[in-house]
Structure 1
Amino acid sequence: MKWTKAGPGVIPAWVADMDFPVAPEITEALRRRAAGDLGYPVWLDSPDAGPLAEAFATRMAVRYGWQPDPALVRSYTDINQALQVLLQVCTSPGDGVAVHTPAYHPFLGTLAEMNRPLRPIPMLPDGDSWRFDKPDLSGCRVLLLVNPHNPTGRVFTRAELLALADQAERHDLMVISDEIHADLTYAPNEHIPFATILPERTVTLTSATKAFNLGGIRCSVAHIGMPAVREALDRQPSFVYGSANLFGVEATVTAWRQGDAWLEQVVATLDRNRKLIAERLPQGVGYRIPEATYLAWLDFGEPGAAGRLEREAKVLLSDGDEFGPGGENFARLNFATSPPVLEEILHRISG
């Protein structure tokens, strides 16, 4: 998708795929699986997420000091599906959903399609980073938290998360916490799972697809910390929402158990790339170095920059207008590519 959408001579830097080969451990695990048993897996009828559950729980404990209960983990094809399931089962049309804006545009599309009105929490420029004012979430039903934040790359602090937790408690909210970019956090920033702060109100969504470049593998998990949500999901027909596939589970478990050496090398490259952008962007383009993700949120000071760059510079970025309130003058650049390709992208933008 990333490369075929771009026209002749255009370098794509839009959709969130990396231009890096998959970790060899994952490739080998899929090769072994394909050469072996492709029958019904033993975990198919399990009420939880089978081997995904234990792999997720172990990774959270080792990497973030969180001890989630594997029995509370469910599998979905991707985070968008998981979000739609949760909204369908646990909310009603007209229920407000608070989201930090600008926001990941498929989430905005879901809210519009499902008639769950958006309650923006604006991300505000703050020196070299971003902040948000303490929101009033009265009248909402859900806080949809994206941390690390897409598209700004902000990693929320414990103080910020505690303030959001206070609002969630005060207004009896379900918190859906998308933490898919957690493994792409740059030191000294630290990712804090929201479920460590407000465990019994939080549904944590994550996947190996972003950090391990597995977008097409279609596998994610949801840790359902909120008892009422578990009860509502358990009342649904067994197969109506589907589940992750055999190869998705194989790839994800392998990534979380064996992929960290590969990930460490990739994050080192991304770390250099995010700093290179700051050095090479032309004067007048605003850029705050992201604390996580491989996405640069660039302020061109006027609408339509992405379209202009595609026509004139032959570089395809994501149009900031797609990301809702606050995105109008921006474009999002995916810098998960080799340094020579990124150098050429920045040269074209500067030209």
Structure 2
Amino acid sequence: MSAASSQAVPGFDDLDRAWLRARPSVKWHRPAPQVLPAWVADMDFPVPPAVVTALHDTIDRRDLGYPDWPDGSPLRAAFARRMAERYGWAASADRVREQTDLIQCLQLILHLSTDKGDAVAIQTPNYPPFLATLATMGRRAVPIPMKDTDAGWRIDFAALDTAVRDAACKVLVLVNPHNPTGRVLTREELEEIAAIAQRHDLLVISDEIHAELTYSPHQHVPFASLSPEAARRTVTLTSATKAFNLAAIRCAVTHYGPDRLLRLRDMQPPDLYGAISPLGVVATEAAWRDGAAWQRDLLTVLDRNRRRVSEVLEARLPRLRCHAPEATYLAWIDTQPLGLGDTPTERVLKNGGVMLDGGTSFGPEAAAFLRLNFATSQAILEDILTGVTHALEAEAGP
């Protein structure tokens, strides 16, 4: 499929670059004016109309007072409904608690369940704020490297089993769908992990924020839905922010499986970790309730774009390794076969005018990798790919 032959999608492929650059958000505001941004995991698309309408309705009522939520926000029931409808998981609304974002969720769970020096297993490469959280909190990260195979990125289950045993891990941080590789773990793979977690009595913190950005025929399976045993040891973290482009709304949810952990959480001072804004609840509810049509168009665009990234890289730089992601809007590109060293992001910025993420902030094995955000219009993506391939071709030589 070529860019020329694919049909434009209104609302997604008619982005105005002046509008994008005028926004104060970090993605387009931080790079120099001549640089195209494809780095931080924000999409370029406007917020779903249903969310805009819901927020306007709230402001038009001129009521931003304290919400009457004696038993928690409406998100608790909304989350449970969404899990049942999309995945057949009977999550309990009573076990849901609200936080401002996923990183805060992770930090709170680690604070309640571990002490300094405790070992925490985590896939690598991984989302840099998660790795930074472990370092800042003094938890001992036990890397579980993902293996790059001809069939895509895979977990080495024997290595996982050995690592958590030898390091006496208390916790496994599971990112599925995985950022940055885009892997969606199958039910069989998740069951292998569940068996290891049970064998070593691990708490599983399952980040599932990219779940709704999964491409057919792949299917997301919530880790806690595998079995009652898995549910009892799993804390599930998610949000509408990635799947509906609402990063700054500052609203996330945590589903607590372990009884003891939920009791500990509820024993904390109620405002110690802040409180979510009612506007965040309004936006999330509107996205989940009325955003299906917008999300269908979004997935059409992202699926097309991920294929276009693969098509261009295979044609222009066949020595690169880049598996088409099974979820997310992020391509994870290995430049090692080109022999460019450990600063490919700097080279692409300097020689291609494109700002990408990548490097050792994703883990020690990630020095030569690039992460490319393809959640943008057809035309902008073509310019991004032109810049990237031009820079890498120039560096790689014949």
TM-score range, shorter chain: over 0.9
The number of aligned residues is 348
Among 328, 335, 338, the residue aligned to 1:293 = 328
CA distance in 2, matches of 1:31, 1:54: 23
Q: Spell out, residue by residue over 1:157-177, the C-alpha distance to the aligned partner (whole angstroms, 9 max, x if none).
A: 111111111111111111110
CA distance in 2, matches of 1:334, 1:42: 39
Q: Spell out, residue by residue over 1:240-274, the C-alpha distance to the aligned partner (whole angstroms, 9 max, x if none).
A: 11221111010001111111110010010000000
Contact 1:100–1:122 (Cα < 8 Å) also in 2: yes
Among 249, 254, 257, the residue aligned to 2:286 = 254
SS at match of 1:333: strand
Q: Does 1:30 align with 2:55?
A: yes
- What's the counterpart of residue 123 of structure 2? 100
Question: Post-superposition shift, 1:125?
Answer: 0.9
CA distance in 1, matches of 2:285, 2:33: 38
In the TM superposition, 1:301-316 aligns within 5 A as 301=336, 302-316=341-355
Q: Does 1:129 align with 2:152?
A: yes
Contact 1:307–1:319 (Cα < 8 Å) also in 2: no
- What's the counterpart of residue 191 of structure 2? 162
In the TM superposition, 1:331-346 aligns within 5 A as 331-346=370-385
Among 36, 49, 58, the residue aligned to 1:11 = 36
CA distance in 2, matches of 1:319, 1:98: 21
- What's the counterpart of residue 139 of structure 2? 116
Structure 1's consecutive aligned runs of 4 or more residues displaced over 2 angstroms after TM superposition are none
In the TM superposition, 1:33-182 aligns within 5 A as 33-36=58-61, 37-43=63-69, 45-46=70-71, 48=72, 50-134=73-157, 135-136=160-161, 137-138=164-165, 139-182=168-211
In the TM superposition, 1:191-340 aligns within 5 A as 191-197=220-226, 198-281=230-313, 282-283=316-317, 284-301=319-336, 302-340=341-379
CA distance in 2, matches of 1:330, 1:92: 32
Percent sequence identity over aligned pairs:
51
Question: Post-superposition shift, 1:60?
Answer: 0.6
CA distance in 1, matches of 2:151, 2:58: 46
CA distance in 2, matches of 1:233, 1:339: 45
More helix by share: 2
SS at match of 2:345: helix
SS at match of 2:121: strand
Bigger CA radius of gyration: 2
CA distance in 2, matches of 1:251, 1:8: 31
Give the structure-2-normalised TM-score: 0.86
Give the letter for the 2:367 counterpart.
Answer: E
SS at match of 2:281: helix
CA distance in 2, matches of 1:319, 1:204: 26
Among 191, 195, 212, the residue aligned to 1:183 = 212
Q: Spell out, residue by residue over 1:274-304, the C-alpha distance to the aligned partner (whole angstroms, 9 max, x if none).
A: 0001111232222100000000001111311
Give the structure-1-normalised TM-score: 0.97
RMSD between aligned residues: 0.9
CA distance in 2, matches of 1:245, 1:122: 37
Give the letter for the 1:296 counterpart.
Answer: A
CA distance in 1, matches of 2:54, 2:131: 35
CA distance in 2, matches of 1:205, 1:270: 23
Give the letter for the 1:70 counterpart.
Answer: A
Question: Post-superposition shift, 1:4?
Answer: 1.1
CA distance in 2, matches of 1:249, 1:144: 26
CA distance in 2, matches of 1:148, 1:66: 17
CA distance in 2, matches of 1:125, 1:240: 42
Give the letter for the 2:46 counterpart.
Answer: P
- What's the counterpart of residue 21 of structure 1? 46
SS at match of 1:175: strand
Contact 1:306–1:317 (Cα < 8 Å) also in 2: yes
Q: Which moved further from structure 2: 141-150 or 300-309? A: 300-309
Question: Post-superposition shift, 1:147?
Answer: 0.2
Contact 1:147–1:156 (Cα < 8 Å) also in 2: yes
Question: Post-superposition shift, 1:10?
Answer: 0.4
Question: Post-superposition shift, 1:127?
Answer: 1.0
Runs of 5+ consecutive residues of structure 1 not aligned to the other structure: none
